[in-house]
Structure 1
Amino acid sequence: MPGNRAVAYKGPRHVEVIDIDYPTFELKDGPGVDPANVGRKVPHGAIVKTVATNICGSDQHMVRGRTTAPVDLVLGHEITGEVVEVGPGVEFIKVGDMVSVPFNIACGRCRNCKEGKTGVCLNVNPSGYGSAYGYVDMGGWVGGQANYVLVPYADWNLLKFPDRDQALEKIMDLTMLSDIFPTGFHGCVSAGVKPGSTVYIAGAGPVGLAAATGAQLLGASVVIVGDMNEQRLAQARSFGCETVDLTKGGPAEQIEQIVGEPFVDCAVDAVGFEARGHGADAGEAPATVLNSLMEIERSGGQLGIIGLYVTGDPGAVDDAAKKGSLSLSLGTGWAKSLSFTTGQCPVMRYHRGLMNAILHDKVSIAKNVNAKAISLEDAPQGYADFDSGTSVKYVLNPNGYIDA
Structure 2
Amino acid sequence: MASNRGVVYLGPGKVEVRSIDYPKMVNPEGKSIEHGVILKVVSTNICGSDQHMVRGRTTAPKGLVLGHEITGEIIEKGKDVEYLAIGDLVTVPFNVACGRCRTCREQQTGVCLNVNKGRAGGAYGYVDMGGWVGGQAEYVMVPYADFNLIRFPDKAQALEKILDLTMLSDILPTGFHGAVMAGVGVGSTVYVAGAGPVGLAAAASAHVLGAAVVMVGDMNPERLKHAKASGFEPIDLTKSDKLEELIEAVVGVPEVDASVDAVGFEARGHGAQATTEAPATVLNSLMAITRAAGGIGIPGLYVTEDPGSKDEAAKQGNLRMRFGLGWAKSHRFFTGQTPVLRYNRQLMQAILHGRLPIAKAVNATVISLDDAPRGYHEFDTGVARKFVIDPHGMLKKKSA
1:343 is matched with 336
Taking the aligned partners of 1:172 and 1:336, their CA distance within structure 2 comes to 40
**SS of residue paired to 1:192:** coil
Classify the secondary structure of the residue corresponding to 2:365.
strand
Cα distance between partner residues in 1 of 2:176 and 2:355: 14
Alignment of 1:248 with 2:239, yes or no, is yes
CA distance in 2, matches of 1:291, 1:318: 16
Quote how far apart the aligned CAs of 1:377 are: 0.3
The one-letter code sitting in structure 1 at the alignment partner of 2:124 is Y
Cα deviation for residue 3 of structure 1 reads 1.5
User: 2:317 corresponds to which letter in structure 1?
Assistant: G
Residues 209-231 of structure 1, C-alpha deviation per residue, up to 9 Å, x if partnerless? 00000000000000000000011
Structure 2 residue runs without a partner (length 5+): none
1:372 counterpart = 2:365:
yes
1:397 to 376, 383, 390: 390
- The Cα shift of 1:314 comes to 1.1
- Give, as a single letter, the amino acid of the residue that structure 2 aligns with 1:237: K
Counterpart-to-counterpart distance in 1, 2:234 and 2:244: 12
Partner of residue 165, structure 2: 174
The equivalent of 1:30 in structure 2 is none
For 1:226, the aligned partner's letter is G
Q: For residue 76 of structure 1, what is the aligned residue in structure 2? A: 67
1:133 and 2:124 are equivalent in the alignment:
yes
Q: Contact 1:54–1:79 (CA<8 Å) still a contact in 2?
A: yes
2:310 is aligned, of 310, 317, 322, to 317
2:154: which partner in 1? 163
| SS at 1:247 equivalent | coil
274, 277, 300: which one pairs with 1:307?
300
Aligned partner of 1:297 among 274, 290, 301: 290
The letter of the residue matching 1:181 is L
CA RMSD of aligned residues (A): 0.9
1:75-118 C-alpha deviation (Å, 9 max, x unpaired): 00000010000011111111100000000000000000000000
- C-alpha distance in 1, partners of 2:115/2:10? 25
Matching residue's letter, 2:21: D
Q: Partner amino acid for 2:17?
A: V
1:25 is matched with which residue?
A: 25
Following the alignment from structure 1 to structure 2, what is the Cα–Cα distance between the partners of residues 76 and 94? 24
Measured against aligned partners, the alpha-carbon deviations of 1:288-339 in whole angstroms (never above 9, x if no partner) come to 0000000000000110000000012111122210111000001001100001
Q: What TM-score results when the alignment is normalised by the length of structure 1?
A: 0.97
Structure 1 gaps of 5+ residues are 28-36
Matched-pair contact (CA < 8 Å) for 1:131–1:138: yes
- The answer to whether 1:387 aligns with 2:355 is no
Deviation per CA, 1:13-71, whole angstroms, max 9, x where unpaired? 100000011101013xxxxxxxxx42132210000110000000000000000000000
Q: Are positions 1:211 and 2:202 aligned together?
A: yes
1:123-176 per-residue CA deviation (whole Å, 9 max, x = no partner) reads: 000110101000000010000000000000000000110011001000000000
Give 2:321's aligned residue. 328
Secondary structure of 1:233's match? Answer: helix
Q: CA deviation at 1:181?
A: 0.3
Q: Is the 8 A contact 1:226 1:251 kept in 2?
A: no
Aligned mates of 1:377, 1:135 — CA distance in 2: 20
2:269 is the alignment partner of 1:277: yes
The 5-angstrom pairing of residues 253-272 of structure 1 reads 253-272=245-264
Q: Distance in 2 between matches of 1:189 and 1:126?
A: 30
- The SS at the match of 2:287 is helix
Matched, 1:13 2:6: no
Residue 368 of structure 1: CA displacement? 0.5
The SS at the match of 2:8 is: strand
1:136, 1:282 → 2: CA distance?
A: 27
Once structures 1 and 2 are overlaid, which stretch shifts more, 37-46 or 153-162? 37-46
Identity of aligned residues (%): 65
Contact 1:46 1:84 in 2 (8 A): yes
Length, aligned pairs only? 395
2:100 alignment counterpart? 109
